[in-house]
Structure 1
């Protein structure tokens, strides 16, 4: 296995990691900004107000996008990693 194959596989692996984590990170970012804006406007400084909605929204998004994440990762392994290990 040459360096180019290894670097290409690493690049594809990082791209898959970004695709899989994007929905969760996007929801956490949007929820954090919205809650921070709400806290700034109302002067409410409760710590559970930032934690509980973010975790709840992230769990919902994780549950909804779990099939997308699993399919993406399985396709990558079956299409790229397994053939590379088998030497095809």
Structure 2
């Protein structure tokens, strides 16, 4: 395998990882900011107050975006990696 092909496949794989992780990371960021603002405004410093809602939001977004993530990963494997493995 040529180095150019290897690095191109690696670049595309990293891009797929970024695309599939963006919804979960964005929701975790927004939820953390909202809860942090709430804690700063009310002076409530409870650790479970940050963890449980953030975990719930992540689970909901993961459940909603599972189809998109699966389609993106399967398309990447079918279009890019399987032809490279087969030697095409």
After TM superposition, the score normalised by the length of structure 2 is 0.98
- Measure, in 2, the Cα distance between the counterparts of 1:79 and 1:4: 17
Question: Alpha-carbon deviations, 1:4-28, whole Å to 9, x = none?
Answer: 0011000000000000100000000
Matches of 2:72 and 2:64, distance apart in 1: 14
2:60 matched residue in structure 1: 60
Give the secondary structure class of the aligned counterpart of 2:44: coil
| SS in structure 2 at match of 1:48 | helix
- Cα deviation for residue 76 of structure 1 reads 0.3
1:80 aligned partner: 80
Which ranges in structure 1 are unaligned for 5 or more consecutive residues? none
Matched positions, count = 88
Quote how far apart the aligned CAs of 1:69 are. 0.2
Alignment of 1:34-49 (within 5 A): 34-49=34-49
Q: TM-score, normalised by structure 1?
A: 0.98
